[in-house]
Amino acid sequence: MTRIKSFLQWLTETKLGFFIIVLVAFWLKTYVIYLTKFNLGAVGSMQNFLLLLNPLPAGVLLLGIGLFFKGRKSYWIMIAIDLVLSLWLFANILYYREFSNFLSLSIIKTSGSTADNLGKSIVGITRATDFLALLDVAIIVALLCSKLIKYDLRPLKFKFNVLVEALAVLMIGLNLLMAQKDRSGLLTRTFDNNYIVKYLGMNEYAVYDGFKTAQTSAQMAKANVSDLGSVQKYLKANYVKPNPQYTGVAKGKNVLVIHLESFQQFLIGYKWKGKAVTPNLNKLYHAKDTLSFANFYNQVGQGKTSDAEMMLENSLYGLQSGSAMSSYGTSNTFESAPAILNQQGGYTTAVMHGGAGSFWNRNNAYKQFGYQYFMPLSYYQNKPKYYIGYGLKDKIFFNQSIKYIERLPQPFYLKMITVTNHYPYEIDKKNQSIDKTDTEDETVDGYVQTAHYLDQAIGELMQWLKKTGLDKNTLIMMYGDHYGISGNHHKASAQLLNQDEFTDFDNLKFQRVPLMFHMKGLKGGIKKTYGGEIDVLPTLLNLLGINDKGTIQFGHDLLSKGAPQIVAQRNGDFITPQYAKVGGTYYDTKTGTEIAKPDKKLKMQLVAISNKVTTQLSLSDRVIDGNLLRFYKPKWFKKVKASDYDYNKDKALKKLFSVNKTSLWYHNHKKTTQKKFKTDAPELEK
């Protein structure tokens, strides 16, 4: 008993004892948060040991800085460091809950481009238990202020402090060696930040991410034309000829791209309490003149929607860390869909979006892509009841877009970005026409309500297209940009799908999103081909009969008989019709069973697929990080000059509303078609 009392006295009355209290509290807290707030997937004794160990080395190194200071300052510096580390942990808890990933320097640097309504989302995802990350700091401060912990004003020897820091560095080195032994190529071939945190820790991940960000900046500075050689060699070796039966079937048609926000494939045909969640999209998906893809996957990383746009417009992957549109959209050279269609097909190109123009840096990136018009929220009438979450409600947005669509010179390439079906999946009572699900997961249960509202809005737009006759001359493409329900909701997802469990493999399959091409007279059908967002651009261009020879594209025509059907995920996972990889585990795609012990032949095959995925992601990163397209263009392609485009509302509308004989407005005897758009939006009732 005396020894325990002496030990407690040493802890509470010496500087070194205080250091131990702060360190142990930080260490154990971090470990508990690893287990309860993140889905790191530690498997086996080594991974679990490293998960327990890895908060300690960084804690010793950083908190040990306080030991070098004298008097009370030493204590408060340790507390300040602990607070910073705890805030970093807290921020990642919130970010991970929404995005299943960790904060990166790129995301933090470009947070201004995604800040619209961010506060509401943070409040919506914060839980009381999240404050565990800050609890130990508050308790320690309270103990110190109440004098239950007493100041020890005696300085520690400088050599001892240096020894503590040296011990921390040694521990970091040993941690890294053990991690590399269990996971070779951890720092050179890893596309999944979960691995870095699982093996090395949150703070080591921050250092790694900072290093990678600096490395990326250096790569761009050093990049030259010769770096394109390996990219072109790979693309030539892996070229797949488009399907000639579909080449040019939509030649000269308008293209209307409808972005279905956070919309997952499972919603197609899904019913809740006997009511179809998406009746209009169900009908479109199964129509005889719709090409639908049942195994089409989102492939986004941290850039979420912006990654989807990067792939659809350029057939280039988003980045391993951050958003390519936010980080490089202002400065990089691209060979994008709008520029190709304008130059090769005489298309008028436009984007309409009921949200902030600066979100994901769209107001700059779209100029680099070659969009002639960009109509964000500032082009629309906005009232409090019109707006929810991240922009105008979809019915309001479509209704107000008619006056712009009808004035576009044809053929046009128009992308319309919906936002109502966005986290936190809230919709006012007057617009609720289906009940919430009852999983008791607040993040999930509103999803069917906002998806149903989006479907109703799509139905209204489709009716307008039919009434105006625009549907006869338009190829309509609809796609889901990314998941709506993240991998942090396994229990609720199992309930939605009426399954006993929801595994990591199920979550990979959950990444499927709709892709549909609809056009009068199109030979449609539901295709079982495996593909992803990277494949949309070459598929679309082939349907339109547009030449894209010599462009740098990593996707393939989804209708090609030679399509490779290897769908890469941004973290290095993949799925094919036969096999899938999630983390370090392989699965049989058809049965969902784990391939625990593949034979030598199968193992070689799986490794080959994995290496191909890694190569493709790396080469795409090289194109964006090095801005390699500034050194190259096909002979027929004219490089885009951002200065040629001006999204000033007055100037743009003056140009748009000038008389053009190819516009829908002109063909409607120079009269608006607004009255042909019928909506039941309660906000517009008189």
Consecutive H or E run containing 596: none
The pair phi, psi for residue 284, each rounded to 5°, is: -65, -40
Assigned token pair, 40? 């790191």
Structure-token match 């999630």, residue found: 582
Strands 290-297 and 525-532: parallel
3-state secondary structure of 93: helix
Whether 539 is a known active-site residue: answer no
Q: Which of 216, 305, 443, 529 is catalytic?
A: 305
CA angle 502, 39, 389 (to 5 degrees): 85
Tokens for 489, please give them.
């909701």
Burial of 178 (0-12, 13-18, 19+ CB in 10 A): middle
Q: Tell me which DSSP letter residue 79 carries.
A: H
Would you say 677 and 398 are in contact if contact means Cβ atoms under 8 Å apart? yes
Q: Coil, strand or helix: which one is 23?
A: helix
Q: What phi, psi does 526 have (nearest 5°)? A: -95, 115
CA dihedral 426, 428, 432, 438 (to 10 degrees): 40
Decide: 366 and 632 in contact? Cβ < 8 Å.
no
- Residue 104 to residue 127: CA distance in whole angstroms: 22
Q: Which of 326, 394, 404, 397 is nearest to 360 (CA)?
A: 326
Q: φ, ψ for residue 392 (rounded to 5)?
A: -65, 145
Length of the chain: 686
Apex CA 519: angle with CA 517 and CA 523, to 5°? 80
The partner residues of 388 in beta bridges, in order of sequence, read: 391
* Alpha helices, H only, 446-577: 447-468, 490-496, 504-509, 536-544
DSSP-derived pairing of the beta strands 574-575 and 579-582 = antiparallel
Q: What DSSP string runs through 599-626? A: -HHHHHHHHHHHHHHHHHHHHHHHHHHT
Residue located via tokens 């130059």? 343
What are residue 40's phi and psi, to 5 degrees?
-85, -15
Q: Are 483 and 262 in contact (CB under 8 A)?
A: yes
* Strands across the sheet containing 290-297: 373-375, 348-353, 412-417, 254-260, 474-480, 515-518, 290-297, 525-532
Q: Which residues are catalytic?
A: 305
